[in-house]
């Protein structure tokens, strides 16, 4: 055991900024993070023990509770629910004789849920020891249960269980690009740094992670930032922590366009004079790590990474992949940087911003996977060409992750300006009630808004496009999202830590038939508090799905409400549930009437 840990520590040069990677590898080797491993790692890294324990306790995919050979986590996005993940979860629990959320007594298996794993186009999905299995069915679960009961190591399971489809439905300039590795760099390097940066600015490229900040401005600010030390290194970080429920475009970009992603990062490194790159890959995409490392190795061999790239003396740059471990908040840029530094993924106080004080307080350019792809396209084919595509304010194309009630879920790339109606027609959606654009932190729109356009000036999006037809209950959609935010709040600031939990319990109260008009007013109050005082965007947007659906689909809330103005959250009959279980009774005499006569 200690030998395994020492090997991992040595591989990371006993460097505390590698703590998350070390913990992740330790768990893969030893199935969990035992208290004594924490002692060993803390000693090896020269860190307080509590710091190591605190980091291990932050990430959902790091387990400090007990050893367990097979940890199965069902993706619990609303799209998984619509495809029946709840029943499948119960079925698997029965097959394995385990209770949901508890490790079986022999330490063999545990079954629980996790936030959206980015397989919405081929759900329901789960992770087994971190490896993704999509398209779950009773038959596939039976095979999985059989393998687990036979104690077959996950490495030996049939590969087709783990096969992930790309579901590429519509390609445009990005997904259909004819570029070969190095093509963009061969154009960009001769331009020189200044001209290249002007091209990026002139292209009107804006960040694809959702916020839409001008990419050229960000790069220029990073290039010009002094940093805290003389000759500070500059870093290029690719945000592949695609955690927004309903988003899976980066998964497909990384599996089909990995060269373009790395090429974009290298173009950026040249423009800002960066020397080291990181790709922060969400833990759910663990299965992409080896293929991506393979692409990096090929690029090094081809002289596209490493020293004197493409013979350009003095242009040294390389890229390393860091894996996340189950924390949506790490998609926030400063939290991602904290996580890269081996810490708990808490968003930093800003200013200063990452462009001047990012990774290790050095100037850092952090962009989305799709942004780097687009930057490579701009470098290869020119700003004028690029800004001619899309709308005046939104240049280029947008890759959408379409899921939910439609015949052809998958990846659709459109020039900016496409209407929601067009996308719905292309994906084969019928009787559509609503579309959730850009995930829970985005916006929910109803049928009268389907002529709105995907563009920064109208419906800005990070890519999620979840379709709900008329058979769906939008209250349940919002409730699922409320649970998501409470599950993913980092807990740093009071309003988000407490407020998201309050929103969750209020939605559960309404779902249980105990809600009143007072509760709807409370939700609006929570929204104001979170908007005004939360530390980061997670808290600011946490109430959006609830408010959006309350506004557009109010009857689905109202039909659940009691006619009273106030109803206590305490459920007198519910409180007797434990006593009923203990006595084995469930007759009418064992129940209190919860109906209050007016």
Partner 1 sequence: MSETFQLDGEDVPFAPAQTVLQAALAAGRYIPHLCYHPEFKPHGSCRVCTVQANGRTQAACTLPAAAGLEVESASEEMNALRRTLVQMLFAEGNHFCPSCEKSGNCVLQALGSDLGVLTAGFRHFYPDRPVDASHPDILLDFNRCILCELCVRASCEVDGKCVFALSGRGLDKHLIVNAASGKLVDTDIALFDKAMEVCPVGVILKKRVGFAVPIGQRRYDQRPISAQALDDAPRVSAASGECAACEGSGAVSALALTEPASSFGEETP
State the residues that interact with partner 1 by CB under 8 A.
Answer: 35-36, 38-39, 47-51, 53-54, 56-58, 327, 338, 343-344, 346-352, 357, 361, 486-495, 497-502, 505, 525, 528-529, 532-535, 569
CB of residue 507 to partner 1, shortest distance in Å: 13
- 47 or 418: CB nearest partner 1: 47
Q: What is the distance of C-alpha 99 from the center of its chain?
A: 27
Most distant pair of Cα atoms in the chain: their distance: 86
Taking a C-beta distance cutoff of 8 angstroms, is the pair 374, 174 a contact? Answer: yes
> Considering the complex, what minimum distance in angstroms separates the CB of residue 34 from partner 1?
10
Of 408 and 487, nearer to partner 1 (C-beta) is 487
Instruction: For partner 1, give the closer residue by CB, 352 or 382.
Output: 352
Measured from the CB atom, the residue of 53 and 458 that comes closer to partner 1 is 53
CB of residue 35 to partner 1, shortest distance in Å: 5
**Dist CA 371 CA 15 (whole Å):** 30
Closest contact distance (angstroms) between CB of 350 and partner 1 is 7
Which CB sits closer to partner 1, 31 or 361?
A: 361
User: Please, what is the minimum distance in Å from the beta carbon of residue 176 to partner 1?
Assistant: 41
Strand partners, 73: 112, 127
Q: Is 337 left (phi over 0), alpha (psi -120 to 50) or beta?
A: alpha
Our CB check for partner 1 shows the closer of 350 and 581 to be 350
Taking the complex as a whole, the smallest distance from the CB of residue 548 to partner 1 amounts, in Å, to: 22
- Residue 280 vs 484, nearer CB to partner 1: 484
Q: How far is the CB of 105 from partner 1 (least distance, A)?
A: 23
Helices (H), 388-440: 420-426
CB of 100 to partner 1, least distance (A): 18
Angle formed by the axes of helices 474-488 and 544-552, to 10°? 170
Strand bridging mode 464-469 / 432-437 = antiparallel
Spatial distance between the Cα atoms of 237 and 239, rounded to a whole number of angstroms? 6
Those residues with Cβ within 8 angstroms of residue 308's Cβ, 6 or more apart along the chain or in another chain: 314, 315, 316
Other Cβ atoms closer than 10 A to 178: 6
CA nearest to 114, candidates 487, 586, 526, 571: 487
Q: Which pairing describes strands 397-404 and 464-469: parallel, antiparallel, or unpaired? A: parallel
Calpha distance 72→284 (Å, rounded): 12
| Number of neighbours of residue 524 by Cβ within 10 angstroms | 12
Least gap, CB of 347 to partner 1 (angstroms)? 8
- Residue pair 365/274 in contact (Cβ under 8 Å)? The answer is yes
The least distance separating partner 1 from the CB of residue 351, rounded to whole angstroms, comes to 7
CA distance 375 to 248: 20
Tokens representing 313 are: 């003396």
CA atoms within a 13 Å half-sphere pointing along the CA-CB vector of 237 = 33
- 131 forms bridges with which residues in the sheet? 128
Number of H helices, E strands in the chain: 25, 14
Smallest distance, partner 1 to C-beta of residue 563, A: 21
* DSSP annotation string for 100-129: TTS--TTS-EEEEEES--S-GGG-S-EEET
Q: Which is nearer to partner 1, 53 or 76 (CB)?
A: 53
Residue 207 has what DSSP assignment? -
CB of 278 closer than 8 Å to CB of 235: yes
Q: How many CB atoms lie within 10 A of CB 540?
A: 18
If the CB atoms of residues 118 and 499 are measured against partner 1, the closer one turns out to be: 499
Closest to 402 (Cα-Cα) out of 414, 393, 394: 414
| Between 532 and 594, CB nearer to partner 1 | 532
Residues counted in the chain: 598
> Residue 476 CB, nearest distance to partner 1 (Å)?
22
Residue 252 CB, shortest distance to partner 1, in Å, is: 29
Please say which residue, 196 or 526, places its beta carbon nearer to partner 1: 526
Phi, psi of 86 (to 5 degrees): -65, -45
CB of 36 to partner 1, least distance (A): 7
| Residues whose CB is less than 8 angstroms from the CB of residue 521 and which lie 6 or more positions away in sequence, other chains included | none
**255 vs 533, which CB is nearer to partner 1?**
533
Tokens of 582: 């203990």
Q: Which is nearer to partner 1, 186 or 528 (CB)?
A: 528
**Which of 54, 190 has the CB closer to partner 1?**
54
| Residue 399 or 496 with smaller CB distance to partner 1 | 496
Q: How far is the CB of 50 from partner 1 (least distance, A)?
A: 3
Helix (H) or strand (E) holding 238: strand 235-240
> What is the Cα–Cα distance from 228 to 245, expressed in whole angstroms?
37
User: 520, 480 in Cβ contact below 8 A?
Assistant: no
């Amino acid at each position: 055991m200690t030998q395994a840990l020492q090997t991992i520590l040595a591989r990371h040069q006993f460097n505390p900024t590698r703590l998350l990677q070390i913990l992740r590898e330790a768990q893969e080797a030893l199935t969990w993070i035992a208290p004594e491993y924490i002692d060993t790692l803390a000693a090896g890294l020269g860190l307080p023990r509590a710091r190591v324990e605190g980091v291990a306790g932050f990430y959902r995919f790091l387990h400090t509770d007990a050893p367990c050979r097979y940890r199965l986590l069902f993706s619990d996005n609303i799209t998984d629910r619509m495809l029946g993940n709840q029943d499948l979860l119960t079925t698997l629990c029965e097959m394995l004789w385990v209770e949901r959320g508890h490790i079986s007594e022999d330490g063999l298996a545990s079954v629980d849920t996790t936030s959206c794993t980015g397989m919405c186009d081929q759900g329901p999905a789960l992770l087994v020891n971190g490896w993704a299995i999509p398209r779950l069915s009773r038959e596939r679960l039976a095979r999985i249960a059989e393998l687990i009961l036979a104690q077959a190591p996950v490495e030996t399971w049939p590969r087709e269980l783990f096969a992930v489809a790309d579901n590429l439905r519509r390609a445009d300039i990005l997904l259909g690009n004819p570029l070969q590795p190095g093509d963009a760099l061969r154009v960009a390097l001769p331009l020189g740094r200044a001209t290249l940066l002007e091209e990026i600015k002139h292209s009107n490229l804006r960040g694809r992670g959702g916020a839409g900040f001008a990419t050229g401005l960000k790069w220029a600010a990073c290039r010009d930032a002094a940093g805290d030390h003389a000759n500070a290194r500059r870093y290029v970080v690719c945000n592949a922590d695609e955690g927004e429920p309903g988003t899976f475009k980066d998964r497909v970009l990384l599996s089909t366009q990995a060269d373009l992603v790395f090429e974009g990062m290298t173009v950026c490194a040249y423009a800002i004079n960066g020397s080291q790159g990181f790709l922060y890959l969400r833990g759910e995409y663990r299965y992409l790590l080896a293929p991506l490392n393979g692409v990096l190795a090929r690029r090094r061999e081809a002289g596209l990474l490493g020293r004197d790239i493409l013979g350009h003396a003095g242009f040294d740059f390389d890229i390393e992949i860091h894996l996340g471990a189950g924390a949506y908040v790490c998609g926030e840029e400063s939290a991602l940087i904290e996580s890269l530094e081996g810490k708990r993924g808490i968003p930093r106080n800003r200013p200063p911003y990452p462009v001047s004080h990012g990774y290790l307080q050095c100037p850092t350019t952090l962009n989305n996977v799709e942004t780097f792809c687009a930057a490579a396209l701009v470098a290869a084919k020119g700003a004028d060409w690029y800004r001619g595509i899309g709308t005046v304010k939104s240049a280029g194309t947008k890759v959408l992750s379409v899921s939910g009630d439609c015949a052809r879920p998958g990846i659709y790339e459109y020039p900016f300006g496409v209407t929601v109606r067009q996308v719905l027609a292309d994906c084969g959606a019928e009787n559509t009630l609503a579309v959730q654009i850009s995930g829970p932190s985005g916006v929910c729109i109803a049928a009268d808004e389907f002529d709105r356009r995907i563009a920064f000036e109208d419906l800005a999006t990070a890519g999620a496009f979840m379709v709900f037809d008329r058979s769906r209950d939008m209250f349940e959609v919002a409730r699922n999202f409320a649970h998501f935010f409470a599950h993913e709040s980092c807990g740093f600031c009071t309003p988000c830590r407490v407020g998201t939990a309050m929103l969750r319990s209020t939605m559960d109260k309404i779902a249980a038939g105990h809600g009143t008009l007072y509760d709807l007013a409370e939700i609006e109050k929570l929204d104001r508090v979170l908007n005004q005082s939360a530390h980061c965007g997670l808290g600011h947007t946490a109430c959006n799905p609830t408010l959006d659906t309350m506004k557009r689909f109010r009857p689905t809330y109202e039909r659940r409400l009691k006619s009273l103005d106030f109803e206590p959250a305490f459920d007198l009959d519910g409180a007797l549930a434990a006593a009923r279980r203990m006595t084995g009774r469930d007759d009418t005499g064992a129940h209190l009437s919860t109906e209050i006569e007016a």
